[in-house]
Structure 1
């Protein structure tokens, strides 16, 4: 392999991780799929992002990951607090989905994400952020479909 081909290969391989992390749109819900996992993402101010993932066959629980504007991250089912408020309503604790209550909270929050106008997210070690829910109904599948299930039903 000549030097210019090797340099081009190194450049492309170096860009792949950057491209993979660039998924999602600011203030618009988007979805993607890879290796049997569907991901639903919205980006906000700074590095803030809300990401929901579902394993297509429902053999793994759905995951909710929140990243604040500074890049600090918290996700459910990791022994940390994670809460959402839809349209200024009461906080819904989605810290875990392994118990019946946790699974019900996740299903409730997911349903409200599909119907609301905005979601505020907070948790341990992160600063709160608010995201639009405009267009979420078209992107997010109903909870319990497309492999989107809580740990409590596995």
Structure 2
């Protein structure tokens, strides 16, 4: 009994001493990344200081979901506020809306511009502005006409 208790305590201490790390390949500050999990393609850009992230999720079941999080406050699909993207000085309103043909085309346009942009700024409807990285966007985001493009809108699927 004493041996079992000592082993259990050792295991607990060993687990407590293990470092907790984030997924190193996804969501690094200052760059774009992509991943795949449970049938969903995921794309993320994290600001250089780590305070903001743009997250895009695509799967076969639902239209694309795009969320901007700044200091823990989420904007976008079904969140408390909206956001626009300013790509190389050109502002695209509510790029995550795909509920009309015009909005779906706006999303696709924003996607292609994000792949090539040298400047990406997100602006929330409550006045927050955050610079997101452009580094790695072309590698992380497949071209709209690529077979790897898995995002669908309410009007288009690839």
Q: Same fold (TM over 0.5)?
A: yes
Cα deviation code 1:81-114 (max 9, x no counterpart): 2211110113333252121121111111011111
Q: Which runs of 5+ in 1 are unaligned?
A: none
Q: Would you say the 8 A contact 2:92–2:110 is kept in 1?
A: no
**2:108 matched to which residue of 1?**
107
Matched, 1:47 2:48: no
Mapping 1:22-37, distance limit 5 Å: 23-37=26-40
Mapping 1:114-133, distance limit 5 Å: 114-125=115-126, 127-133=128-134
Matched residue SS, 2:90:
coil
Matched, 1:152 2:155: yes
Give the TM-score normalised by the residue count of structure 1.
0.78
Inter-CA distance 46–127: structure 2 relative to 1 (3 Å threshold): farther
Q: Which runs of 5+ in 2 are unaligned?
A: none
Deviation at 1:26, TM superposition (A): 1.3
**RMSD, matched Cα:** 2.8
Q: Would you say the 8 A contact 2:25–2:33 is kept in 1?
A: no
Inter-CA distance 52–84: structure 2 relative to 1 (3 Å threshold): same
Q: How many residues align?
A: 148
Q: Given the alignment, which residue of 7, 10, 17 partners 1:4?
A: 10
Deviation at 1:4, TM superposition (A): 2.0
Q: Which has more helix, going by share of residues? A: 1
Mapping 1:52-91, distance limit 5 Å: 52-55=56-59, 58-68=60-70, 70-76=71-77, 78=79, 80-91=81-92
Give the TM-score normalised by the residue count of structure 2.
0.76
Matched residue SS, 2:97:
coil
